[in-house]
A and B are shown apart, each in its own frame.
Chain A
Amino acid sequence: MNLEFIGIFVLWLFLFGYVMVASIDFGAGFFNAYVTLTGKQHILSKIIQRYLSPVWEVTNVFLVFFFVGIVGFFPRTAYYYGTTLLVPVSIAIILLAIRGSYYAFTTYGGLKHKRYTYMYGLTGLFIPASLSIVLTISEGGFVTNETPGPALNYWDLFTSPLTWSIVVLSLTAVLFISAVFLTWYAHEAKDEHATNLLRRYALIWAGPMILTASGIVVELHAHNPEHYARLMDVWWLFILSVALFIGTVYLLWKRQAYGTAFGLLTGQFFLAFFGYGIAHYPYLLYPYLTIYDSFTNEAMAIALIIAFVAGLGLLLPSLYLLLRLFLFNKEYVQGKRNDHT
């Protein structure tokens, strides 16, 4: 195994982590806004607040980790992606900034108004949409290498069906992941009403999610045959992923083992995400950038990996503590404790 591979594996793993925790967060915000709009606020809001409060800041770090890491391991990505992504990523930053700070303003600062709830819910849809554009661009065909530098062709990008399929997938996936997780969380909290409502949301979004995901494969066939061919090389990963999806839906349908259902869902996305990633290998940006020609020097790579291992040694116990105190703490989950400052 070479250093390039270790680097991209670690980063992809963290991106997967971000996709999962951020989806829960984005979806929770959306559902919270939705129930506020439809007057069912009393059923969901408490559960959602209780989950989000202690972990909101942690979510953001996964993203920061990914982009700092990718520039560290593959500095040339800064040149290609930095130049071309100015607008989409700036928009995502602005939305993330408003979302993050107004979350704190409302939760800790007592700024209570429905419009913030709606804003929070809407940013939860726009952020994944704008971030998912990066994946579309990585497929190639939208970036041209001109003088003085690479440029993004917005017209091609926004008229491409691939772009919109990926945007829609990001939305359906966010809602599905979030609903499944929150069903489990609400069940742990022994909140039957919330569990039922969230279970319904999960079942509603399961179909659109799997449909759009399959749609992407078809789109890729037309847009990037090379990537498509490599996807087909690892077809069995996707079959397994679909099997896990069916398992999740089955358990939800039968109202059984919500925890296991979320576990299966994590497995489903893990397999699909890595299947997609493996097929993307070795390209970071078709056809300009591969993990080999953009890689940093050996000294830096080794230093980064050592720092990473040491960092994990520090982080994993702390994350475990956080989860034990809040996520897996029965008293806290059931709302018997607050202890906020």
Chain B
Amino acid sequence: MGNEEAVYFSRGLTELTLSFHIIFATIGVGIPLMIMIAQWVGIKKQDEHYILLARRWTRGFVITVAVGVVTGTAIGLQLSLLWPNFMQLAGNVIALPLFMEVFAFFFEAIFLGIYLYTWDRFENQKKHMLLLIPVAAGASFSAVFITIVNSFMNSPRGFDIVNGQLVNINPILAMFNPAMPTKVTHVLATSYMTAAFLLAAIGAYRLVKGSNHVYHKKGLFLTMKMGLLFSIITAILGDFSGKYLAEYQPEKLAAAEWHFETEEGAPLMMYGVLDNGEVKYALTIPFGLSILAHSNPKAEVIGLNEFAEDEIPPLYIHYLFDTMVTIGMLMIGISFVFLLGFWRRWRFVLTKSFLWIVVFGGPLSFLAIEAGWWLAEVGRQPWILRGIMRTSEAATTSGQVDTMLLLFAGLYLILGIGSMVVLTRMFRKNTVEQELADRASDKAGETV
């Protein structure tokens, strides 16, 4: 196997692992916050339904955490196994947040173990809820630290290269690089948003399937509120991301927007096709790109013509950008209409057809997450460390990457099927109605 093949398969394996892991990572970051909110509302209102929401979400969460942990271990090791040259270089500058991530994760793991096994152990329910704070904080901080590493790959800072040697290394400066604020906040907000829409989709699905229980309606209402909140925040942060890109990674923005020539008052192109370098059938928003890039309709936006041919990312990332943005906007719309309808008692938001839209919103949000990460990673090509090291220089020289790709594909298949089977079985066997009745009789038994 020549080294080009090793690079090719290393990219394939990394993409596969990340694409699989990010599903569970997103759930892992977002769900604890939702559980916390539900439990808090439940304690405040003394409403058994919200408490049960928290309990049931927790049960599902444990399964996804397990898959998230093991695939996270896989990607952590694959960084060194597949990209040894990159880690050798980057380890000198960006090892600190990777190291801190382990602590955040450790913290989360310990308290998750405690939280799981102490339901009903405390007289005061609030004490039990407090145990969830380190879980949620640990999960979110894991995301923060890992995203910092990714932002460093996009805008490496905190060192100088003199005669091929790394000098003046400053780990803190490397962490607080220009890409860090927009990336970290974007990852967090989208995780919360996606988790909310996932839970909303589950509630909506139960309602579609004939349950008319108020439990599901409460859950749906709560998660749609969270979904709307975080999808609006995501949209605002997305705008900041555009400004960051225009300033620090103009080639990424230009490739994503098919912006070929530097010009003032640049329009934003959505969708469309490329025909010999011409954009056709695109939805054009006049001055849109200038506004996105610089908040000024007249501003100049750098085009791809300013960059060498071998330093621009592939142009298909345009569609990834479109997918991500379209779904994001769609979700704002769906949740807004739903909530407005819920407040104003419009019947149609609880009809089957509208609920189906909410159901599909769950998987769609995950598609947006995937598209966003592919955009982030493919959009950085040909660099693994922008401007410093090319992806092709970073990969392993081992000849067995193709076999490993097959093995890991098999693993993710097993884990994917396994987690789906287990999750459906868990909740189908133990219905909400059944569980509410059981808990009520338990309570009655205690007071007698």
Contact between chains at B396 and A82 (CB < 8 Å) = yes
Q: Mark B71-90, 1 if CB is under 8 A from A, else 0.
A: 11110111011111101111
A243 at the interface (CB under 8 A from B): no
Q: Mark B394-421, 1 if CB is under 8 A from A, else 0.
A: 0011101101100110010011001101
Query: How close is A50's CB to chain B, nearest CB, in angstroms?
Result: 10
Residues of B near A332 (CB, < 8 A) are 117
Residues of B near A93 (CB, < 8 A) are 70, 73-74, 77-78
Residues of B near A98 (CB, < 8 A) are 411, 414-415
Q: How many residues of A contact B (CB 8 A)?
A: 74
B102 at the interface (CB under 8 A from A): yes
Choice from B92, B98, B134, B426 contacting A109 with Cβ under 8 Å: B426
Contact between chains at B106 and A61 (CB < 8 Å) = yes
Query: Given that A86-B400, A100-B69, A340-B117 are contacting pairs, would A72 and B99 also be in contact in the complex, using a CB cutoff of 8 Å?
Result: yes
Query: Given that A86-B398, A340-B119 are contacting pairs, would A110 and B426 also be in contact in the complex, using a CB cutoff of 8 Å?
Result: yes
Docked complex Cα distance between A148 and B398 (Å): 9
A111 at the interface (CB under 8 A from B): yes
Q: Mark B51-78, 1 if CB is under 8 A from A, else 0.
A: 0000100110011011101111110111
Q: Which residue of B lies closest to A319 (CB)?
A: B110
Choice from A67, A148, A325 contacting B3 with Cβ under 8 Å: A148
B93 at the interface (CB under 8 A from A): yes
Residues of B near A67 (CB, < 8 A) are 76-77, 80
Q: Which residue of A lies closest to B112 (CB)?
A: A57
Q: Which residue of A lies closest to B175 (CB)?
A: A303
Q: Which of A19-27, A222-230, A280-288, A306-314 contacts B (4 or more CB under 8 A)?
A: A306-314
Contact between chains at A64 and B404 (CB < 8 Å) = no
Residues of A near B119 (CB, < 8 A) are 339-341
B95 at the interface (CB under 8 A from A): yes
Query: How close is B156's CB to chain A, nearest CB, in angstroms?
Result: 14
B429 at the interface (CB under 8 A from A): yes
Docked complex Cα distance between A87 and B71 (Å): 17
Contact between chains at B418 and A68 (CB < 8 Å) = no
Choice from A75, A80, A85, A318 contacting B95 with Cβ under 8 Å: A75
Query: How close is A65's CB to chain B, nearest CB, in angstroms?
Result: 5
Residues of A near B96 (CB, < 8 A) are 72, 300, 303-304, 307
Contact between chains at B396 and A149 (CB < 8 Å) = yes
Query: Given that A90-B404, A303-B172, A315-B106 are contacting pairs, would A109 and B88 also be in contact in the complex, using a CB cutoff of 8 Å?
Result: no
Choice from B95, B112, B418 contacting A71 with Cβ under 8 Å: B95
Q: Mark B410-443, 1 if CB is under 8 A from A, else 0.
A: 0100110011011101100100000000000000
Query: How close is A78's CB to chain B, nearest CB, in angstroms?
Result: 4
Query: Given that A72-B98, A78-B84, A100-B66 are contacting pairs, would A53 and B117 also be in contact in the complex, using a CB cutoff of 8 Å?
Result: yes
Docked complex Cα distance between A29 and B91 (Å): 35
Choice from A68, A314, A315, A322 contacting B76 with Cβ under 8 Å: A68
Docked complex Cα distance between A124 and B382 (Å): 41
Q: Which residue of A lies closest to B99 (CB)?
A: A72
Query: Given that A87-B400, A299-B171 are contacting pairs, would A94 and B110 also be in contact in the complex, using a CB cutoff of 8 Å?
Result: no
Contact between chains at B87 and A78 (CB < 8 Å) = yes
Residues of A near B101 (CB, < 8 A) are 68
A253 at the interface (CB under 8 A from B): no
Q: Mark B93-126, 1 if CB is under 8 A from A, else 0.
A: 1011011111101110111111111111100000
A101 at the interface (CB under 8 A from B): yes
Q: Which residue of A lies closest to B100 (CB)?
A: A307
Most A CB within 10 A of own CB, among B89, B107, B429 = B107
A256 at the interface (CB under 8 A from B): no
Q: Which residue of B lies closest to A314 (CB)?
A: B107
Contact between chains at B117 and A83 (CB < 8 Å) = no
Query: How close is A12's CB to chain B, nearest CB, in angstroms?
Result: 16
Which residues 294-341 in A have Cβ within 8 Å of B in the complex? Answer: 296-297, 299-300, 303-304, 307-308, 311, 314-315, 318-319, 321-322, 325-326, 332, 337-341
**A-B contacts at CB below 8 angstroms, number:** 242
Contact between chains at B170 and A110 (CB < 8 Å) = no
Main secondary structure, interface of B, reads helix
Most B CB within 10 A of own CB, among A111, A303, A325 = A303
Choice from B71, B73, B92, B106 contacting A300 with Cβ under 8 Å: B92
B169 at the interface (CB under 8 A from A): yes
Query: Given that A79-B85, A104-B62 are contacting pairs, would A318 and B110 also be in contact in the complex, using a CB cutoff of 8 Å?
Result: yes
Contact between chains at A54 and B73 (CB < 8 Å) = no
Docked complex Cα distance between A89 and B73 (Å): 11
Residues of A near B105 (CB, < 8 A) are 61, 64
Contact between chains at A54 and B114 (CB < 8 Å) = yes
A197 at the interface (CB under 8 A from B): no
Contact between chains at A318 and B134 (CB < 8 Å) = yes
Docked complex Cα distance between A87 and B407 (Å): 10
Q: Which residue of A lies closest to B91 (CB)?
A: A75
Contact between chains at A300 and B113 (CB < 8 Å) = no
Contact between chains at B418 and A102 (CB < 8 Å) = yes
Residues of B near A200 (CB, < 8 A) are none
Residues of A near B340 (CB, < 8 A) are none
Contact between chains at A54 and B93 (CB < 8 Å) = no
Query: How close is B284's CB to chain A, nearest CB, in angstroms?
Result: 46
Query: Given that A78-B84, A337-B121 are contacting pairs, would A57 and B95 also be in contact in the complex, using a CB cutoff of 8 Å?
Result: no
Query: Given that A103-B66, A300-B169 are contacting pairs, would A96 and B117 also be in contact in the complex, using a CB cutoff of 8 Å?
Result: no
Residues of A near B408 (CB, < 8 A) are 90, 94
Query: Given that A110-B426, A337-B121 are contacting pairs, would A75 and B87 also be in contact in the complex, using a CB cutoff of 8 Å?
Result: yes
Query: How close is B173's CB to chain A, nearest CB, in angstroms?
Result: 10
Docked complex Cα distance between A300 and B101 (Å): 16
Query: How close is B16's CB to chain A, nearest CB, in angstroms?
Result: 13
Residues of B near A55 (CB, < 8 A) are 113
Residues of A near B415 (CB, < 8 A) are 97-98, 101
A235 at the interface (CB under 8 A from B): no
Most B CB within 10 A of own CB, among A58, A83, A151 = A83
Residues of B near A322 (CB, < 8 A) are 110, 113-114
Residues of B near A60 (CB, < 8 A) are 69-70, 73, 109
Query: Given that A72-B98, A98-B411 are contacting pairs, would A58 and B109 also be in contact in the complex, using a CB cutoff of 8 Å?
Result: yes
A-B contact pairs, 27 of them (CB 8 A): A54-B113, A56-B113, A57-B109, A58-B113, A60-B109, A64-B102, A65-B102, A75-B90, A80-B84, A82-B87, A83-B397, A86-B81, A97-B71, A97-B73, A97-B411, A104-B66, A105-B63, A105-B422, A296-B91, A297-B92, A299-B169, A299-B170, A300-B93, A300-B96, A307-B103, A339-B119, A341-B117
Q: Sorted from nearest, which 6 A-B pairs have the closest CB atoms? A: A75-B91, A82-B84, A104-B66, A72-B95, A149-B397, A109-B422
In the complex, besides A80-B84, A97-B74, A101-B67, 11 extra interface pairs with C-beta distance below 8 angstroms are A56-B113, A65-B102, A67-B76, A75-B95, A78-B84, A82-B80, A93-B74, A101-B66, A111-B421, A300-B92, A341-B117
